[in-house]
Amino acid sequence: MVEIVPTKEQIKSWMKEFVPKKDFFFVKEKDLPTFNHHLNEVLLIPSDEFFRHPSYRQVELSNSYTYWNISKDVDYVIAAHSSWIENLNKEKKRVILNNQIKVNRGLIMPLSYFIDETLVPEEYIFEETEGELVVIQHDMWNALPEGIRESALLEYARQWEDWSCYETPDATDNHISRYANHFSTLSGSNCLSTTLFAVTKQEWIIKEWMHPATFSNGLKIANYTLTSGKIQCGDVITWVNENNSIQHAAYYIGNDLVFNKNGQTFFNPWKIVHIDQLNEQWNQYTKKIYRKHKKTP
Domain boundaries, the chain: 2-158, 167-292
CB-based contact 162:11 (threshold 8 Å)? no
- Report strand pairing: 43-46 vs 236-240: unpaired
Q: What are phi and psi of 237, to 5 degrees?
A: -105, 130
User: With 0-12 CB in 10 A as exposed, 13-18 as middle and 19+ as buried, what is 90?
Assistant: exposed
Report the share of the chain in percent with pLDDT over 70.
Answer: 99
Q: What is the DSSP string of the chain?
A: -EE----HHHHHHHHHHHS-SSEEEEE-GGGGGGGGGGGGGSEEEEHHHHTT-TTTT-HHHHHHHTGGGS-TT--EEEEE-TTTGGGS-HHHHHHHHHHHHHTT-SSEEEGGGSSSGGGS-GGGEEEETTEEEEE--HHHHHHS-HHHHHHHHHHHHHTS---EEPPPPTTS-HHHHTTTTB--SSS---HHHHHHHHHH--GGGGGS---HHHHHHHHHHTTEEEE-SS--TT-EEEEE-TT--EEEEEEEEETTEEEEE-SSSTTS-EEEEEHHHHHHHTTTSEEEEEEE-PPP-
Give the pLDDT score at 141. Answer: 96
* CATH match for 167-292 among 3.40.1000, 3.30.70, 2.40.128, 3.90.1720: 3.90.1720
What is the C-alpha to C-alpha distance for residues 96 and 35, in angstroms, rounded to an integer?
9
Give the pTM: 0.90
- Cβ atoms within 10 A of the Cβ of 172, count? 19
What is the C-alpha to C-alpha distance for residues 111 and 119, in angstroms, rounded to an integer?
11
Give the pLDDT score at 130. Answer: 87
Each residue's pLDDT tens digit, 72-109: 999 999 999 999 999 999 999 999 999 999 999 999 99
Give the pLDDT score at 296. Answer: 58
Residue 63, CA distances (Å) to 133, 187, 209 in order: 19, 7, 12
Question: Which residues are paired to 146 by β-bridges?
Answer: none
What is the C-alpha to C-alpha distance for residues 70 and 12, in angstroms, rounded to an integer?
27
Give the pLDDT score at 295. Answer: 66
What is the C-alpha to C-alpha distance for residues 85 and 94, in angstroms, rounded to an integer?
10
Give the pLDDT score at 186. Answer: 85
Each residue's pLDDT tens digit, 51-66: 999 999 999 999 999 9
| pLDDT tens-place values along the chain, 297 residues long | 899 999 999 999 999 899 999 899 999 999 999 998 999 999 999 999 999 999 999 999 999 999 999 999 999 999 999 999 999 999 999 999 999 999 999 999 999 999 999 999 999 999 998 899 999 999 999 999 999 999 999 999 999 999 999 999 999 999 999 999 999 988 899 999 999 999 999 999 999 999 999 999 999 999 999 999 899 999 999 999 999 999 999 999 999 999 999 999 999 999 999 999 999 999 999 999 999 987 655
